[in-house]
Amino acid sequence: MAFGISPKHIQEISLEGLSTEEFLALALEGAKLETWEIGTVKKNGFIAYSGFSLSSYGEEIKMTIENGNATIKSECTGSQILDHGRNKNNIGNLIINISNLKEKLSREELTELTNTLSIKGDDLLPESALETKSKVSDILAIFKPTEGYFITPILININIAVMIIMILTGVSAINPSGEDLLTWGANYRAMTLDGGWWRLLTCCFLHIGIVHLLMNMYALLYIGVLLEPILGRTRFLVAYLVTGIAASVTSLAWHDLIISAGASGAIFGMYGIFLAMLTTNLIERSARKAMLSSVLIFVGYNLLNGLQGSVDNAAHIGGLVSGMLVGYIFYPALKDKDAIISEKYSIRIISVGVIVATIFIYFTTTNAIGIYDRKMTEFLDLEREALVVYNLSDTTSQVSMLRILKNPGMANWKKCLKIVDDVNGLNLPMQLKERNKLMRIYCNIRLETYNLLHDLTKDTTQRERINAEIENLNINLQKTIEAVEQIK
């Protein structure tokens, strides 16, 4: 079985005594019978595109005539893995149409049909928009940089290498913990805004398990072989990095608590660039029309899938929009090497624009979660000191017990209450606000318990009543702790 990025079928047939022009005329007529959209037509063949269907995003059919034989290739324009026999059927139907037309038409009719061929110039059929795919002919070719496919495999290799190193250091290959992801550079507002600006880039090479990695690398491979030959190495690399950062910044501004990781933001950026290219005349019209449906399906499906709570759709949208802007800025230089906005200046404009936007958002986004986390760390330290009361021995003197119950005991619980009241003023997500309400109840129960323990230590005559009250408080305390843990 032949290996390829997307399904295809290739078949070679003889011209059976017909001239190149006659066979080409019959093939074009046969393509029209299939209602394919004819794209490029040259003296040695043509490129056409089938329509969208439930089983396919559309196929590119390319026929090349050479040395008395015609080679016909049908290849899916989309990123689907299976073609449900569409490519083989396309070629089979075209061959049948050619055969039927040959038997049906008289010599005079065939000559007349041949004379209607409209071929501009004497040049040969150019490479199609999908031609770079053929360079990835086996598994190893995915990882090997070649002409027209140079930066893409390097990016794939870096992403895979990061995952391998993570696994070798003990990180789960299937479901890495949030702590592991943060250690390796995931994007999380509290940490990114607290001096971890570099996470905006590192998170683009970090994945949440092997399945996540494989899905993203297949998408990167597909868009890479289509887009890198158009942009060239430098523009492709710059585009990947700046749209990846733009996606991370969008996620940073959008989400309070989500830990974000993965190349999908940058990949959406590359799809955004390609989408921009498909709305211009940079790519041949028929090819644009066929590929547009594929790109829109990919984008639409993944954005809808991103409505799930576990997917960072903000990064997808940020990557897509920034990618389209990058694509339109690149377009003049891609279309005309002498354009006012040359490659050098377009890269500078994009880089400076992303840097300025990143700095602005970075320093204007409120780090409420970061402040909350620091306050909670302070809360835990105070709590730990206050709970030392329960570690005292039975031989502790009354004076020492009373002193410790007051300070650090009751004094620390009052400080904890002050912390809870302070963080209530922050712009926090609803679940943290609910958690704060419970934390306040928790602190008040602790403070009331310590007051009762203080009274009991001073006067044991009320032991039975005080112990009963403490028991009830402990029941409420346990319920409150369980409620807090559920919100976590």
Q: How large is the greatest C-alpha to C-alpha distance in the chain, in angstroms?
A: 124
> Residue 317 and residue 298: Cα distance in Å, rounded?
13
> Residue 473 and residue 469: Cα distance in Å, rounded?
6
Residue tagged active-site, from 264, 286, 294, 322? 264
> Residue 186 and residue 314: Cα distance in Å, rounded?
15
* Residue the block writes with tokens 């290799």: 157
**In the annotation, is 6 catalytic?**
no
Region for 429 from its dihedrals, namely left if φ exceeds 0, alpha if ψ lies in -120 to 50, beta otherwise: beta
Residue tagged active-site, from 74, 316, 322, 346? 316
**In the annotation, is 316 catalytic?**
yes
DSSP 168: H
> Residue 242 and residue 249: Cα distance in Å, rounded?
10
249 contact partners, CB below 8 Å, separation of at least 6: 200, 318, 357, 358, 361, 362
Beta-carbon neighbour count of residue 108 at 10 Å? 8
Distances (CA, A) of 124 to 67, 69, 114, 127: 14, 16, 18, 10
Catalytic residue list = 264, 316
